[in-house]
Structure formats: structure tokens, C-alpha cells
Structure 1
Amino acid sequence: VIEDAAQAIGAEYPAQGGARQAGTMSAVGSLSFYPSKNLGAAGDAGAIICNDDELAARFRIYRQHGMEPRYFHHVVGGNFRIDAIQASILKIKLPHLDGWSAARRKVADVYREEFNARGLTNTLTLPAEPYRERGLTNHHIYHQYVIRTPRRDELQKHLTARGIASAIYYPLGLHEQKCFADLGYRRGDLPETEKAAQETLALPIYPELTREMQQAVVGAIAEFFA
């Protein structure tokens, strides 16, 4: 099993004897350090987490043009090395990650408070926090703050007109993507996936977002549903 933890670095999941971090719950985990991620480099970067020495050795060979030793190619690999500048930036930023994650959770708490104050919690679906009460520090790291509404497209146009950014990250389910057409799926085969793709909208979230900024976002949403 390969675990995709690209957007979940630092997030915890309840496990026997405590908690496991995202990316460590399978034989192989993958992390993204793209600049927009919670721990971002200045350019493209990422990492593989592995608990198997043999697999790790194979990954290192693929990373280095399939070579081991140099100029002796066992497989067709590529240049997948992270450069020293990106690694240095990540090394400096890594000690701040837990603090940034805590700040993102605080931003999420403020959003929930403001939506409650505006009476919008029955109109919108807010992000779930199933492990908040399980005693986990990083029960959520809020790479995105995603709400749901059947009027998603109209709401996004309204926010854009008010100068407020939002994003639709996944407008199609994987089964509807052209590259997977050969699998034979049709629209209607995965109704919950399709519904989520039509309803989800990501609102601004980052550690430095102020309550006043969030009040402006929530106020514009309340105006739309008034």
C-alpha cells in the first residue's frame, strides 16, 4: 500500500497505543513540499517515507537515474533528487510546522464560530473533525478549509465579485477523468464522489489570516444566502 499524504504532513490518526502520523501508516508514504503546501519549498520538492530497507534502496536507485554505483544502470530511473537549496529551505521551515498547524486549526475554529454566529451551519456543510475529541494534538492540519453547498458555483461567483478568493480543486471525480476512460466508468457510477465534486469550495486559510479577514469572508457568504 502506498499512502498519499501530500496534503497531510503532520496530521495524526488514532492508532493502538497512541497515534500515527500521515504517511507512516503503510509500507510507503509520499509527501509533497510544493510551495503551497503546509511545509513548502521554494519550488517542486517531495519525499518518500519508507519502513523497508530493501524498498528504500530501490527508491534511491530510481531517484538517481537508476544507477548504483554511478554509471551502472540497473533500471530506467530519472533525476528525482531534491536540490540542496530546496532541502535547506525545508530544514529551516520544519521546526515551525507544528506552530503553523496549530495556527491553521485556530483559523478553522474562528470560521466555525463565525458561521455559527451567522446561523449558517445548517445552510453549509463545514469540515468534519472526527478525531478532535480523541486527544490528538494534530487531529487536523487544515491544508484547505473546504465547505459544501449545492449552490457552490453561484457562491463562488458572489465571492469573486466581492474580491474574495476561493477555489474548486477537484471539479471531476477520478472516474470521470479522460485519462481513466478505458476503465469504463460512467457518470452516475459514483454518486457521492460526483456530488462532492459539484459542492465543495475551498475558502482562504493560512496561519496569518486574521479574524477581521475571516469575518469579511463569512459576511460575504451570509450576504449571499440572505
Structure 2
Amino acid sequence: MNNIPPVDLARQYKLISTETDLAVLEILSSGRYIGGTVVTDFEKQFAHYINVSECVSCNSGTDALYLALRALNIGKGDEVITSPFTFIATAEVINLVGATPVFVDIEPHTFNLDVDQIEAAITSKTKAIIPVHLFGQAVNMTKVMEIAQQYHLFVIEDCAQATGAEWDGKKVGSIGHIGAFSFFPTKNLGACGDGGAVTTNDPEIAATLKMLSEHGSRVRYYHEAIGVNSRLDSLQAAILQVKLRYLDHWNEQRSLVAERYQHLLSPIGKIQLPQALAGGKHVWNQYTIRLPEHQQGEQLYRNQVREQLQQMGVISMVYYPLPLHLQPVYQYLGYQQGQLPRSEQACQEVLSLPMFPDLTFEEQEQVAYSLKDCLS
């Protein structure tokens, strides 16, 4: 019985090794490792894929969110509404620009921001909403944009886990004012290191993003703002150009893997399977089940199952074990246990099973049989 990892990047590399190696060697032999046409070409290709006019690449998904907030002049005294059930980068960038994160609870079946609770969180200080398209599934952006328009708010889409996902036929990252993407290696479109991009249909916002990402400079050595050094290097751009050609195919394979999981796991009791919203296109960065029984003795039931699966060769992940509003760093905000109950409950129950495009049916059977044995 083979160990099944959460994601297998080496397997992916083998499929595209010839193209990737040629692209990397071309950059190495050129001697141009920062910037150049390979970066600008990738930006144009990615903008075309997302169906926006502008793309500015950067060095991470975290920087993409940070630059987006900076470009919209969000800072001290402002509030930004987002989800507590996400990676901390979504919220920490709000603090980094001097603003305050305001957390709104999630929907129980999609793990995404509960759009029906957004309005109640809006105050005179609210300047933006950051909906997180978690695990590859789009938030209901129709509702988000209606609220944003009504209250004159900016919308920054956190698309880190959802490259290629859609809502109402539109790619995420093209619906809000700005889209922020991560190219961390485990994402649907992943580099061989850190990388990110910001997308928009506003040329002025794009110009500001570019300026801020290059030390606040539009003309070399002349600086109009305090910026940062946030670049996508040429090697990563070259690799991403190769992978972008495969992205739709890989996302289709992820959907097939998810369908097989639904078929294999639906007869098993004691678990809740993930649901795909009507009106959206899920790209399954994660396949996340719920194990509803909370506590058995001193250990979470979910954690017991995870440990047993690992002993059987199935490596699963927990995204996320503690919601942001209860993190030590956010105690100053004054949130209490039980205030955002759906997020808190999800953190006790979620378990992400192995999910990548080349996961075989036999491996999925091993996952399903192992999980059935654990639960029996």
C-alpha cells in the first residue's frame, strides 16, 4: 500500500518536464533573471485568461492583497470585511496597511463568506470587502457586488485558491475591483517558488499597483510613494507560462477527481461531503469533508481520524484548525468564543483529503476504504 500525499508536485513535473526544462534553460542562458519580456508576456497571457485588461505580477499572493489595499488608499481608520475561515494572509495585510479587519461568519456548506451577514457588519468606517474564494469555490459575487455598489465599497477578490473558478460565467478576479492571486506551488496554477498577481480592469489602478511594487517608482530612481520590492522573477514567469497552457485541463481533472470522491464517499456515514454552488464553477483546490462529531475525550474526533488515516498511508490536511478571530494576534479585536459559531465549528470538523489532477482512481479507492475503516 502506497502513501498518498495531499498533493504530488513531482508527478505534475514529470508530465511537463521537457517544456519546463526548456523554458528554464532559456532564461538561464539569457542572463536576464529579473523582469524582461517573459514577465510581461505572462502578465498579458494571464490577463487574457482571467478576461481583464490589466495584470501586474508580484512575488506572492500576500503581496497581491497588500498591493491591492494600498492601491485603493485603504489605511488607518478604515475597516475591511472578510472571512475568519481563511489563511491569515487575508487578514494580516489589512493590518499591514493600518486598517482593521472585521470578520463575518461563513456559510456551513461552502465554507465561504456568508453574504447575507455582510450588511450587518458595515459601518461608517467600512471601505472594502475581501471575499475569499475558498478551496476553489467562488463566493456569490452577484450579492457581494450589489452590497458594494449600495454602500460604495471596494471589492478585492482573494483568488489564491481559485484560479480558473467562475461565478455566473465570469472568472474570479474579473468581478470585483481587484483580484489577488497566489502562485504558491500547491495552487491550481503554481510556480516552483513564490509568486502572485493582481488583476483589474482599471488602468489607473494597475499603474498604481505597478508603481507600488517597484519601490513607489514609475521612473527609475524617482519615488513618489513608499512602496515595496515585489517582483515575479523571470524563472517563475517562464514556468507559469508553461503551466497556464495546462490549467483548464488540470481543473477539469480536479473536477473528475471530486466527482469520483462524491461517488466513493457518499455511502459512508458520519461525514459531510463538500457542495458546489449552483451558478459557479468549482476548481477544487481542496476536497474538504466534515466530520461532525466534535470531541471524544481529550482529542477532537477529526484529529483521531486524521491520525488513523496517516497510519494507513493517507496523508490529509486541516485547513484551518483555529479561526482568525480567535487567533492570539487578534485578541485585541475583542471577539469571543461562540461569536462566529460556523467558523469555529468548521475548524473542529474539516479534513482535506488528497486532491490533485493526477490522483488515480485506485488511490482514491484507497482513501475511501481507509476512511470507511477509520469510521467503522
TM-score, normalised relative to structure 2: 0.56
SS at match of 1:60: helix
CA distance in 1, matches of 2:371, 2:241: 39
Matches within 5 A, 1:50-61: 50-61=200-211
Asked which structure has the greater RCO (Cα within 8 Å, sep 6+), the reply is 2
Which of 193, 198, 203 is equivalent to 2:348? 198
The answer for the alignment partner of 1:4 in structure 2 is 158
The answer for the alignment partner of 1:144 in structure 2 is 286
CA distance in 2, matches of 1:198, 1:95: 38
Instruction: Kindly state the Cα deviation for residue 161 of structure 1 after the two structures are TM-superposed.
Output: 1.2
CA distance in 2, matches of 1:205, 1:53: 37
Which residues of structure 2 form unaligned runs of 5+?
1-154, 294-300
CA distance in 2, matches of 1:42, 1:57: 27
The answer as to 2:187 corresponding to 1:37 is yes
CA distance in 1, matches of 2:229, 2:189: 22
Amino acid aligned to 2:156: I
The answer for the alignment partner of 2:272 in structure 1 is 125
Identity value in percent: 41
Q: After the TM superposition, which segments of 4 or more aligned residues of structure 1 sit over 4 Å from their partners?
A: none
CA distance in 2, matches of 1:22, 1:181: 32
Amino acid aligned to 1:6: A
The answer for the alignment partner of 1:218 in structure 2 is 368
Which residues of structure 1 form unaligned runs of 5+?
none
Instruction: Kindly state the Cα deviation for residue 81 of structure 1 after the two structures are TM-superposed.
Output: 1.1
Q: What do the CA deviations read for 1:115-168 (whole angstroms, capped 9, x no partner)? A: 13xx21x4211110122xx5x6xx110000000003311110110111210001
CA distance in 1, matches of 2:177, 2:276: 26
CA distance in 1, matches of 2:374, 2:242: 42
Matches within 5 A, 1:54-203: 54-116=204-266, 119-120=267-268, 122-131=269-278, 139-149=281-291, 150=293, 151-203=301-353
SS at match of 1:68: strand
CA distance in 2, matches of 1:93, 1:79: 25
Q: What do the CA deviations read for 1:66-119 (whole angstroms, capped 9, x no partner)? A: 112100111111111101110011011101000000000101111111113xx2
Q: How many residue pairs end up in the alignment? A: 214
CA distance in 1, matches of 2:270, 2:218: 58
The answer for the alignment partner of 1:13 in structure 2 is 167
Instruction: Kindly state the Cα deviation for residue 42 of structure 1 after the two structures are TM-superposed.
Output: 0.8
Instruction: Kindly state the Cα deviation for residue 20 of structure 1 after the two structures are TM-superposed.
Output: 1.1
SS at match of 2:219: coil
Root-mean-square deviation over aligned CA pairs: 1.1
CA distance in 2, matches of 1:162, 1:48: 41
Instruction: Kindly state the Cα deviation for residue 224 of structure 1 after the two structures are TM-superposed.
Output: 1.2
CA distance in 2, matches of 1:179, 1:62: 27
TM-score, normalised relative to structure 1: 0.92
